[in-house]
Structure 1
Amino acid sequence: MSRKRRNFTAKFKSDLVLELLKGEIDLNTIATQNSIQPNLLRNWKKEFLEKASIVFDDSREENIKEKLEAERKEKAAYAKKVGQLTMQVDWLKKKSTEILGPDYESKFSPKPFDD
């Protein structure tokens, strides 16, 4: 009999662990009700308790905000550069057509790849 791997959401895991921490229902009962192994539930509880302090870590939140702001600035700078280069290419194509004629590209070597 092969078993299919089940994926559990973070919400589902945290709800079960919180129910376990309340102590109203024991671990084996919760495991049986949800058709999961008791050891898996123990591991979730252990992981939950280890990472609980992260919720109150303010420096982590500030660090994330700083990283997001830096990423936004970098993307804005790239967008600005792309816009500037696009305008330059368009201007060069226009001037080349005015000065050299509409078939100016045929006077030069072929492009290594097509657009």
Structure 2
Amino acid sequence: MATVNIRRDVTDPFYRYKMERLQSKVEGKGNGIKTVIVNLSSVAQSLARPPSYVIKYFGFELGAQTNIAPTDDRWIINGAHEASKLQDYLDGFISKFVLCKKCKNPETDVQIKNNDITLDCKAC
């Protein structure tokens, strides 16, 4: 599997925080076309977030219906979407919900209190 830095603006080949590149495949044709993200579970594990958060973010950004609780680990987005475009949207998710705003480190935990989402950085 090809790995990329979690922060794609960092070009250091020895950067500590890496994840797999998103892999997707388009299935079906016509009205039943859908995109299956093959390795979303391992990517989400690298980000320390549930895969349902990532797929839901894709649904909002793409304006497409997604399944947020598959039984067979097949994460599906309705419509045909390229892996490179999904990788760009994943970068948006990472900057909003993974990276610390102060130190840009991905070692954060999401905390939800009173409908407010906060990031608790383990490095700061």
TM-score higher than 0.5: no
TM range (shorter): under 0.3
Higher helix share: 1
Give the number of the structure with larger relative contact order, counting CA–CA contacts within 8 Å between residues 6 or more apart: 2
Normalized against structure 2, the TM-score is what? 0.23
Whichever of the two has the greater Rg, that structure is 1
Under a length normalisation based on structure 1, what TM-score does the superposition of the two structures give?
Answer: 0.25
- Larger strand percent: 2
